[in-house]
Structure 1
Amino acid sequence: MTINFVNSKNINREQLERLYNDVEWYAYTQDVEVLQHAIEQSLEVISVWNGEELVGLIRVVGDGITIIYIQDILVLNAYQNQGIATQLMQQVLNKYKNVRQKVLMTEDAPDVRHFTKRMISYLAIRVL
């Protein structure tokens, strides 16, 4: 398995839909065109690929100078608990290390809560 991190907002609609559905973020996939437009308008998008398969992504919004919001961070269920989400967070926080406010926006689901608690202690970020 070769995992590649790609900094690009150009992601195929079907791949986006598959990823968001796999993690049960169905509100996003009710209108995949809107989701794709949101991805394109984001400050930063880092996607994770195993060959041609989209396995994860992180999406950042904000001004990139005084504040960033980590809006989405998701990894296909089959690839979770392998450190991919942590690597995505590290890449974003390294790039925006001089930004004063870093906010993680997240769902209130048990599996997400577990990850969020690990990230708070590990990366010292603010969660809303």
Structure 2
Amino acid sequence: MTISYTINAPLEASQAAELFISAGLRRPVDDLRRIGRMLEHADILITAWDGDRLVGVARAITDFSLCCYLSDLAVRKEYQHQGIGKELIHVLRGQLGEEVMLLLLSAPTAMDYYPKIGFVKLVNAFEYPRAQ
């Protein structure tokens, strides 16, 4: 298996939704228009492919100068624990450069994963929750 990575390649909402389901991410997968907007308005979209099969995605919003919010990091369930998520972040950081902080909100099931790949746990964050 050879995984290839792309930067800002076109991605269909249905492909992303199917990946989110497989990866166990809670996203509005029944609303493909909303998923499409999520993809359209991302500043950086890194995708991982096994041939023509989407196996991972990192979707981020950034100013390319100070900060970047990693809004999605998803790897298809059967491809997890193979370094794909770590490589998605590596490719993303390569696009951002050394000056940009990478920030994310973790799913409860991934809390132990992020420190293993270099993230530092923070306690000084706040959320203004969405209505939907």
- Which amino acid in 2 is paired with 1:102? L
Between 10-19 and 38-47, report the one with greater CA deviation. 10-19
Q: Percent identity?
A: 20
Change (3 A) 1:100 1:49: closer
Pairs within 5 Å for 1:111-126: 112-119=110-117, 122=118, 124-125=119-120
Task: Note the aligned Cα RMSD (angstroms).
Answer: 1.9
Deviations 1:13-41 (A, max 9, x none): 22112101112224331312211211111
Give the structure-1-normalised TM-score.
0.84
Query: How many correspondences in the alignment?
Result: 123
Cross-structure match for 1:20: 20
Cross-structure match for 1:38: 38
Structure 1, unpaired ranges of 5+? none
Cross-structure match for 2:105: 105
Cross-structure match for 1:86: 86
More helix by share: 1
Structure 2, unpaired ranges of 5+? 126-132
Cross-structure match for 2:71: 71
For the 8 Å contact 1:58–1:88, the answer to whether it is kept is: yes
Give the structure-2-normalised TM-score.
0.82
For the 8 Å contact 1:46–1:58, the answer to whether it is kept is: yes
